[in-house]
């Protein structure tokens, strides 16, 4: 069977778009994929020069760069530079759009792309609020188009390895959960226009980093075979403030899965995270601990409970499950998009709309009940 090739249009030429594009250029066989492949057929920026510069940067891959494979094997052969995002939405050589703009633009860019008849993979956080997300899902349904939030971590080999542990039942029932994404970002050295600092761009730790403790909450607790609560809610939250612009420096919140357990989630721009425990699921028979960083962990441990409460797990085991060499880790979500579109699906079973909505409601809840300058930020749904 020959591979199905998805033709991508990339919107915006910032940091993460560059990383995503490079992963599209890596040889799929390096990650044992042969059923789908990728082409980049268009790049859109606010100027043609910057779109062209982005393409030239990709074409100038060095011999040792894993993405030089794509340059040499035709992945960029038909690529066109557009000086507007709309040019990419209208490009007949594009099947799917990758949206890599700042948070506050995700809704409008995704909406415009869907209305132009394109499938969309949109960076996290999906939208500014749940109303925006509901509208995007409605449009995708009406137009029978694929739509997914780019939570790349869900598709990493370690995420599937952890699923197997949970499915085996050996950990028993979840009793408690905690996850943290923290880093020392040095906000003071950055300009007011930095997207972590500017409230108008959805600045602060919550919207940018919140999807990462959430990804483990969703994979370890929400999708756990023991969970029956489809709409777990935030029961308490706290934010501290970065005074210069009023955005949240850190956010903490507690989620309760009714009838199962609660979880503490944390994002922080002022402190480093814990290397050996970025996410912890405590269960009746033993605990599962995932190492930092939460967006791309490569090691997890299964650990016995303390002696006085010992369960069936009697020995610590360590499991190293890295992404395949040469892949940064975004190629896996791109493969998922290609497979879903090939199969005529509008959403991914691995990253379904309902689960994006659960997390979006948590982020809304923490933001709207906190003291930050993004508290009253409204999305553009209905406009
Ligand atoms: N999945 C991940 O691991 C990951 C990692 C980092 C970021 N992200 C997400 O990706 C999105 C972009 O992050 P990034 O780090 O790539 O940001 P970035 O480097 O600042 O790039 C954003 C790009 O958006 C475009 N843009 C359009 N309007 C803009 C405006 N008013 N101000 C600034 N840029 C504007 C620009 O591209 P043009 O000039 O070409 O139009 C810019 O280069 C964010 O939502 C973030 O949460 C995801």
Task: Give the C-alpha separation, 14 to 53, whole Å.
Answer: 11
| Tokens encoding 49 | 């020069």
pLDDT band at 383 (very low <50, low <70, confident <90, very high): confident
CATH code 3.40.50.720 region(s) in the chain: 4-151+328-346
Task: Give the C-alpha separation, 24 to 361, whole Å.
Answer: 31
Which residue's C-alpha comes closest to atom 30 of ligand 1? 102
Write out pLDDT tens, residues 167-207: 999 999 999 999 999 999 999 999 999 999 999 999 999 99
Q: Which residues contact 31 (CB under 8 A, 6 or more apart)?
A: 323, 324, 327, 331, 332, 335
| Residue-averaged pLDDT of the chain | 97
| Tokens encoding 56 | 């030239």
How does DSSP assign 331-346, residue by residue?
Answer: HHHHHHHHHHHHTT-S
What ligand 1 atom has the least distance to the C-alpha of 152? Answer: 1
**Is residue 41 scored above 90 in pLDDT?**
yes
Residues in contact with ligand 1 by the CB-under-6-Å rule are 12-17, 45-46, 50, 100-103, 105, 123-124, 150, 152, 195, 208, 295
pLDDT value of position 204: 98
pLDDT band at 267 (very low <50, low <70, confident <90, very high): very high
Write out pLDDT tens, residues 17-37: 999 999 999 999 999 999 999
Fold that domain 157-322+357-368 belongs to in CATH? Dihydrodipicolinate Reductase; domain 2 (3.30.360)
pLDDT band at 61 (very low <50, low <70, confident <90, very high): confident
pLDDT band at 128 (very low <50, low <70, confident <90, very high): very high
**Is residue 263 scored above 80 in pLDDT?**
yes
Write out pLDDT tens, residues 88-110: 999 999 999 999 999 999 999 99
Task: Give the C-alpha separation, 209 to 124, whole Å.
Answer: 9
Which residue's C-alpha comes closest to atom 44 of ligand 1? 102
CATH code 3.30.360.10 region(s) in the chain: 157-322+357-368
Pocket test for ligand 1, best of 53, 89, 100 (most atoms within 8 A of CB): 100
The class that CATH gives domain 4-151+328-346 is: alpha beta
Which residue's C-alpha comes closest to atom 28 of ligand 1? 101
Pocket test for ligand 1, best of 10, 13, 14 (most atoms within 8 A of CB): 14
Task: Give the C-alpha separation, 114 to 140, whole Å.
Answer: 7
Q: Is the peptide bond before 371 cis (omega within 30 degrees of 0)?
A: no
| Tokens encoding 205 | 């730790």
Taking the centre of ligand 1 as the mean of its atom positions, its distance from the CA of residue 29, in whole angstroms, is 29
Pocket test for ligand 1, best of 12, 13, 181, 297 (most atoms within 8 A of CB): 12
**Is residue 1 scored above 80 in pLDDT?**
no
Taking the centre of ligand 1 as the mean of its atom positions, its distance from the CA of residue 15, in whole angstroms, is 6
The average pLDDT across 304-328 equals 97
**Is residue 287 scored above 90 in pLDDT?**
yes
Closest CA to 8 of 76, 106, 60: 76
The average pLDDT across 304-319 equals 97
Pocket test for ligand 1, best of 89, 102, 122 (most atoms within 8 A of CB): 102
């Amino acid at each position: 069977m020959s591979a199905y090739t998805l033709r991508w249009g990339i919107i915006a030429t910032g940091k993460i778009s560059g990383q995503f594009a490079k992963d599209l250029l890596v040889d799929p066989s390096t990650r044992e994929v042969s059923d789908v492949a990728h082409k980049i057929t268009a790049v859109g920026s606010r100027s043609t020069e910057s779109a062209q510069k982005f393409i030239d940067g990709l074409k100038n891959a060095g011999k040792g760069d894993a993405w030089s494979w794509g340059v040499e094997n035709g992945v960029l052969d038909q690529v066109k530079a557009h000086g507007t995002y709309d040019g990419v939405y209208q490009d007949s050589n594009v099947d799917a759009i990758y949206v890599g703009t700042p948070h506050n633009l995700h809704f409008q860019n995704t909406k415009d792309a869907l209305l132009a008849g394109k499938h969309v993979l949109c960076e996290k956080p999906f939208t500014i609020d749940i109303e925006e997300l509901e509208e995007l899902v409605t449009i995708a349904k009406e137009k029978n188009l694929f739509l997914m939030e780019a939570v790349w971590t869900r598709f990493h080999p370690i995420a599937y390895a952890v699923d197997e542990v949970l499915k085996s039942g050996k950990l028993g029932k979840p009793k408690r959960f905690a996850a943290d994404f923290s880093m020392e970002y040095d906000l003071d050295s950055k300009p007011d226009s930095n997207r972590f600092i500017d409230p108008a761009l959805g600045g602060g730790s919550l919207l940018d980093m919140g999807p990462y403790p959430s990804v483990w909450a969703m994979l370890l607790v929400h999708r756990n075979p023991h969970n029956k609560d489809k709409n777990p809610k935030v029961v308490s939250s706290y934010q501290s403030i970065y005074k210069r612009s009023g955005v949240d420096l850190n956010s903490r919140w507690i989620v309760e899965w009714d009838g199962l357990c609660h979880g503490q989630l944390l994002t922080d721009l002022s402190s480093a995270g814990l290397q050996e425990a970025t996410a912890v699921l405590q269960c009746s028979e033993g605990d599962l601990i995932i190492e930092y960083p939460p967006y791309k962990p490569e090691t997890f441990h299964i650990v016995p409970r303390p002696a006085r409460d010992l369960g069936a797990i009697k020995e610590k085991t360590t499991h190293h499950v890295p992404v395949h060499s040469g892949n940064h880790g975004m190629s896996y979500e791109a493969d998922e998009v290609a497979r879903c579109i090939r199969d005529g699906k509008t959403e991914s079973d691995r990253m379904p709309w309902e689960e994006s909505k659960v997390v979006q409601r948590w982020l809304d809840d923490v933001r709207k009940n906190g003291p930050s300058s993004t508290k009253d930020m409204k999305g553009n749904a209905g406009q």
